[in-house]
Amino acid sequence: MREKILQTAFELFISKGYDHVIMNEIICRSEVSKGGMYHYFRNKEELYEETLKHYFYYYYNTTRFRVDPSATLTENLRNLYKVFLQPFTDISKLLKERKAQLHYYFWLIQSLHKRSKMSNKIAYYSKEIEAYIKKAIENAISKKEISVNINPSATAKLIHYALEGLAFLTVLNREEELEKKYEEILQHLDKTVFN
Q: What is the DSSP string of 75-122?
A: HHHHHHHHHHTHHHHHHHHHH-SHHHHHHHHHHHHHHHHH-HHHHHHH
* 156 and 88 both lie in a single domain: yes
* 38 and 72 both lie in a single domain: no
pLDDT in tens, 100-148: 666 776 777 777 777 667 777 778 888 989 999 999 999 999 999 887 7
- pTM for the structure as a whole: 0.74
Residue 57 predicted with pLDDT over 80 = no
Residue 53 domain-assigned (yes or no): no
Q: Which of 113, 166, 155, 109 is nearest to 131 (CA)?
A: 155
Residue 156 domain-assigned (yes or no): yes
Q: What proportion of the chain, given as a percentage, has pLDDT over 90? A: 32
* 68 and 98 both lie in a single domain: yes
